Chain A
Amino acid sequence: MSALAVRALEKRYGGLTALAGCSFAIEGPGIYGLIGPNGAGKTTLFDVIAGATPPDRGEVTLQDRRVSGLAPHRLVRLGIARSFQECRVFPEYTCLENLAFSRIALGSRPDLQEARRLLELVGLETYADEPAASLSFGQRRLLEIVGTFLQRPRVLLLDEPSAGVNPALLEILSAFILKMHAERPGLLLVIEHNMEFIMGLAADIIVMHQGAVLERGTPQAIQASPRVIEAYLG
């Protein structure tokens, strides 16, 4: 029984095919990378898994339970959380309010102590009562990622977490992700373009190309694979 599996996913947007028979299975907790050239369908895959859009064909299963086609808010209750490529936070809410929202949305009381601890881990504790809009892009990205972990997900989808973040903050981000994963191991699937960043986090990399899985393996194997190189260059 796989923790997360997608089978023969197809998705078209008008004349554009985003997913063309995408299939893979992830057995259990761990940090997994998802890479591929632009247009490979990575974000669309996340949109389908997280319920933002239903697949035209195929299915997504969580612990062998079929979840494709369910609405995003229902999937959250089944343990899925995600971040967005463009980085989404509530701009008017303070950092603390943003973090507290993860619980409030599900009808529970927020754990402000835990929220403050995590803010401290990423160096944002002085911004606890500042509106998120006043943060720099990199800081907002950190806030967003912290928020996703506070949802205590079983499956966490991070979409290009390093994009737009300067090297200093990247270190903090990387350390934070590893620490969170060590505290509460879950299934972490990370889309990335920054090879150094993802190779430092994941031991298992899935490569997508033109809407389907091209290859899968360790960072070393992937980097050496001629098919992968050709996909990026061709």
Chain B
Amino acid sequence: MTRFAAPAALLAVLYFAPALSGPYLLHVLVLCYLYAIPAVGLNLMLGYTGLVSLGHIAFAGIGGYTAAVLMVDARLGYWSALAVAVAAAGAAGAAIGLVCLRFRSHFFMIVTLAFGLMLYSVMNNWDDVTRGAAGFPGIPRPPAFTTLESFYRLALTGALAAFAVQWLVVRSDFGRILIALRQDERLAEAKGVNATLYKTAVFALGSALAGLGGALQVSFLRVAAPASFNLAESINAVLIVIVGGAGSLAGPALGALLFVGLPEYLRVAAEWRLVVFGALLVLITLFAPRGIAGVIDDGWRRLARRGR
């Protein structure tokens, strides 16, 4: 029971943050949550199953633009539009997965990379539907959540829902099979696992989560822009997952916090910040592949050993 005391306290603080802090901090936290949601999806795909998607945020773009078109042009109700947007992203993931997950991992990486670039091109150029490079304005917030404080609670709930899904998946048999696939796909197949099916399923789920993040993001910012969903953002998503700790439950939260929070704190020029992050990603991969969560975990273990 005491294990849950700290997280519960943290949750309480977060939930009551609007009463405790000003709009700037709330804004930053909302961005953290909105970055964390797709990161959870990518963590399931990359951290637990070992699928390296180079176009993850393209699916956030599918969620964002589908929501935009449905809410503004089709005048569909907010929640229905959101649901369809998430489903569309998931369906796109399933479709792409069916094309390339049968094959060696190289193909998956190439196809996701190409898909992301192609989608960016479509978002930029299909002016009739996406309003082109300037972006798609006028996206509403949900009826009961128009203020910053109320949207903050919505975003927090969304993030918590994503983490809940992650937790349920990881401790289920489905999750155990995914983790086995990451360790040795050929062995898992020799034990009776239909690798393609499971990989496609987690890819669809991860893409749906990305879609949720994207749809909430365009709602928060009230605009959908192609630049939010380009290759650089997909790389950022990988950064968040890896630095935070791939294959750990808290990884996406730690990574999102670092990625969004730290620059706000340090106030360094955007490009140099990203140079540092890029170098950090390389260094983490070389020397600390389990990321921040791994470092914390090792620290705990050492403390526990000394205590014995």
Partner of B184, one of A72, A81, A88: A88
Judging by beta carbons under 8 Å apart, are B186 and A76 in contact?
A: no
* A47-86 interface bits toward B, Cβ cutoff 8 Å, 1 = contact, 0 = none: 0001010000000000000000001110011000110100
Indicate whether B193 reaches chain A with its CB closer than 8 angstroms. Answer: yes
What residues on B are CB-neighbors of A105 within 8 Å?
Answer: 177, 180, 188, 191-193
With A88-B186, A88-B187 as known contacts, state yes or no: A93 contacts B192, CB within 8 Å: no
Q: Is the CB of A102 within 8 A of B191?
A: yes
A123 an interface residue at 8 Å Cβ cutoff?
no
Minimum Cβ distance to chain A for residue B293 (Å): 15
Closest beta carbon of chain B to A165's beta carbon, Å: 19
Nearest-Cβ distance from residue B291 to partner chain A, whole angstroms = 16
**Residue A229 interfacial (CB < 8 Å):** no
Decide: B190 and A92 in contact? CB cutoff 8 A: no
Q: Are A73 and B194 in contact (CB under 8 A)?
A: yes
A101 contact set on B, CB distance < 8 A: 176, 180, 188, 191
- In the bound complex, do residue A50 and residue B190 qualify as a contact, i.e. CB atoms below 8 Å apart? yes
Question: Which residue among A81, A88, A151 has the maximum number of chain B CB atoms within 10 Å of its CB?
Answer: A88
Instruction: Tell me whether B264 is interfacial, beta carbon within 8 Å.
Output: no
A92-B177 in contact (CB<8A): no
For the complex formed, measure the closest distance between the CB of B183 and the CB atoms of chain A, giving whole angstroms: 5
Of the residues B177, B184, B187, B194, contact of A104 by C-beta under 8 Å: B177
Across the interface, A92 reaches (CB within 8 A) one of B173, B179, B193, namely B179
Question: Which B residues lie within 8 Å of A90 (CB)?
Answer: 180, 183-184, 187
Chain A residue numbers with a CB within 8 Å of B189 are 71-73
Tell me the smallest distance from the CB of B135 to a CB of chain A, in Å.
Answer: 44
* Most chain A CB neighbours (cut-off 10 Å) among B173, B176, B192: B192
Query: Are the CB atoms of B173 and A104 closer together than 8 Å?
Result: yes
Q: How far is the CA of A105 from the CA of B173 in the complex (A)?
A: 8
Pick from B179, B180, B193: contact of A73, CB below 8 A.
B193
CB distance from A204 to the nearest CB of B (A): 25
Interface string of A6-19 (1 = CB under 8 A from B): 00000000000000
Q: Is the CB of B190 within 8 A of A76?
A: yes
A147 CA / B177 CA spacing, docked (Å): 16
Q: CB-CB < 8 A to B195: which residues of A?
A: 73
Q: Mark B180-217, 1 if CB is under 8 A from A, else 0.
A: 10011011111111110000000000000000000000
Contact in complex: A76, B191 (CB < 8 Å): yes
Give which listed residue, B177, B179, B183, B190, contacts A72 with CB less than 8 A: B190
Quick one: closest A residue to B247, CB to CB?
A92
What secondary structure prevails in chain A residues at the interface with B? loop
- Interface residue? A212 (CB, 8 A): no
Chain A residues lying within 8 Å of B183, measured Cβ to Cβ, are 90-93
Contacts of B193 in A (CB 8 A): 73, 105
* In contact, A73 and B184 (Cβ under 8 angstroms): no
Residues of A within 8 A of B184 (CB): 88-91
Q: Indicate if A107 sits at the interface (CB-CB under 8 A).
A: yes
- Residues from chain B with a CB closer than 8 A to the CB of A147 are 191
Write out the residue numbers on chain A whose beta carbons fall within 8 Å of the beta carbon of B179: 92-93
Contact at A77–B180, with CB atoms within 8 Å?
no
The answer for the CA separation of A92 and B181 in the assembled complex, in Å, is 12
Bound Cα distance from A72 to B187, whole angstroms: 10
Nearest B-chain residue to A50, judged by Cβ? B190
Q: Of all chain A residues, which has the CB nearest B197?
A: A73
Most-contacted residue by chain A among B183, B191, B193, B194 (CB, 10 A): B191
Closest chain A CB from B186 CB (angstroms): 7
Q: Which residues of B contact A112 (CB under 8 A)?
A: none
Most-contacted residue by chain A among B180, B183, B190, B194 (CB, 10 A): B190
Complex: chain A residue closest to B194, CB-CB: A73
Instruction: Report how far A89 CA is from B193 CA in the complex, Å.
Output: 15
Tell whether, in the assembled complex, residue A77 and residue B187 are in contact, meaning their CB atoms are under 8 Å apart: no
Docked CA distance A86–B158 (Å): 45
**Which residues of B have CB within 8 Å of A72?**
189-190
Interface centre among A82, A88, A92, A101 (most CB of B within 10 A): A101
Compute how far the CA of A91 lies from the CA of B187 in the bound complex, rounded to whole angstroms: 11
* A89-141 interface (Cβ within 8 A of B): 89-93, 97, 101-102, 104-107
List chain B residues, Cβ under 8 A from A71: 189, 194
Q: Among A71, A72, A102, A147, which residue has the most Cβ atoms of chain B within 10 A?
A: A72
Bound Cα distance from A89 to B187, whole angstroms:
7
Q: Which residues of A approach B to under 8 Å, CB–CB?
A: 50, 52, 71-73, 76-77, 81-82, 84, 88-93, 97, 101-102, 104-107, 147, 151
A-B contact pairs, 8 of them (CB 8 A): A82-B190, A88-B187, A101-B176, A101-B180, A101-B188, A101-B191, A105-B177, A105-B191
CB-based closest 8 A-B pairs: A76-B192, A105-B191, A88-B187, A105-B192, A72-B189, A90-B183, A73-B194, A105-B193
Given contacts A81-B190, A106-B191, 5 further A-B contacts (CB under 8 A): A73-B193, A76-B190, A76-B191, A93-B183, A105-B180
